[in-house]
Structure 1
Amino acid sequence: MSQPTLPYRQIATDGLWNNNPALVQLLGLCPLLAVTNTFVNALGLGLATLLVLLGSNLSVSLVRHHVPSSVRLPAFVMIIASFVTCAELLMQAFTYELYQILGIFIPLIVTNCMILGRADAFASKNPPLPALYDGLMVSLGFGGVLLLLGSLRELLGQGTLFSGMDLLLGPLAADWKITFFTDFQVLIMLLPPGAFFGTGLLIALKNLIDQERKKRAQPQIIASDQPSRRVRISQT
């Protein structure tokens, strides 16, 4: 049974901010914490997730009236696995070294709750265009957190930014590396605890921004400078 399609503005706001899969729903944390030690790793995983989410949402929406409810989830998993295989083959063909670095986390996109959740909660109940747009916004929200966390960990852990971009973009990006400092590195940021610290900081920052927005949205009560006067009315 289909549900009313949400406005495109609300779809974008939910995917990018209000229901961000990484900062609010806390989905897809395994690859988020594992491969975001550099910007290029985060970008590679973000692009792979974008491809899979767009393809799976569109495909699920197209076949939503032809899949029995009894086999709905297995069918969705098969669709997602097909697009993950496509992304994996593309990375092996064009960015093989980056594919080796990301390792098992590319095939594990199949089990990403974020992708299966969007397929079941939104794409299976909406037409193709809104489903495609939802996949785009959710993947951009997830990818944005990936890039922020990857940039933070690389900057604090190595003192650099955009290191190894040639692994993804080829020799053209070999000179994109920016070195900010060499005599001070927080090496823990390159280790698994650094991923938890960075994610916690991003979640705290989002909550702080949301609290400030709520305060500004509340109507301001202006106190009167003059004391209130009471008037007694007598009845005769």
Structure 2
Amino acid sequence: MNLQSFRESAWNGLWRQNTGLVQLLGLCPILAVSTSVVNAVSLGLATVLVMAVSNFAVASLRNFIPYEIRIPVFVLIIAALTTVVDLAFNAYFHDLYLVLGIFIPLIVTNCIVLARVEAFAAKNDPVSSTVDGVMMGLGLVCVLAVLGGLRELVGNGTLFSGIEMLVPSLSPIAVFGNDYPGFLIGVLPPGAFFTLGCLIALSNWMRTRAAQRKHAMLRPAAPVADEAPSAP
């Protein structure tokens, strides 16, 4: 995999084909766990791990998997990796595991993971597939981090609530002070829809502006009309 291919995979995963803002995949976990930065990023990183390893495994075994049974085999690989991640969260981050609940096992059915395995890993080499899985997952993490941060900030006036579940010596940041009354809709399901809708609208606006600037740069300059000859 050369540098150009790496840049292309990174740009596709983080922006051009972002799973949360462009493809709109995996909306259930995106909307459900994004009540705080810690919850959102933790599930996002778990998804990145599953995507990277499952892409690598499928790309390595793609020539040995019969085409007719590829989907069940892909699901079994993803399920095995998700089980490992689920048990690791339960063992090392038990409090966070209880907060995330069913959404860690539901990585098995996350259409983001299966879509990349089917669309990319089953057709490319292991290195490129692993990079694709990591970048697509990081694109999801970025959306989850921004969405969780905005909802937590509006709803509770804090950032990194629950960080003590990962690092006991740290504590949340009270951005608006301890007297902030909170805006309940920020952490309720409607707040997730409103915030994600605003992020998608902002993303579309930025893409449109970028396309307009590119079109303006590529547009040839209008030819200057020849000056009329002066009268004798």
Letter in 2 for 1:189: G
The TM-score normalised by the length of structure 2 is 0.90
Q: Normalized per residue, which structure has more helix?
A: 2
Letter in 1 for 2:58: V
Alignment of 1:1-236 (within 5 A): 7-167=5-165, 169-173=166-170, 175=171, 177-181=172-176, 182-218=179-215, 219=217
| Matches of 2:137 and 2:54, distance apart in 1 | 12
| Matches of 1:227 and 1:70, distance apart in 2 | 65
Gaps of 5+ in 2: none
Percentage of matched positions with identical amino acids: 48
| Matches of 2:8 and 2:55, distance apart in 1 | 17
Gaps of 5+ in 1: 1-5, 232-236
Alpha-carbon distance, 1:184 to partner: 4.6
| Matches of 2:103 and 2:160, distance apart in 1 | 21
Count of matched residue pairs: 222
RMSD: 1.8
Aligned match of 1:3: none
Alpha-carbon distance, 1:11 to partner: 1.1
Deviations 1:133-152 (A, max 9, x none): 00110000001100000000
CA contact (8 A) 2:155 2:187 kept: yes
The TM-score normalised by the length of structure 1 is 0.89
| Matches of 1:67 and 1:142, distance apart in 2 | 28
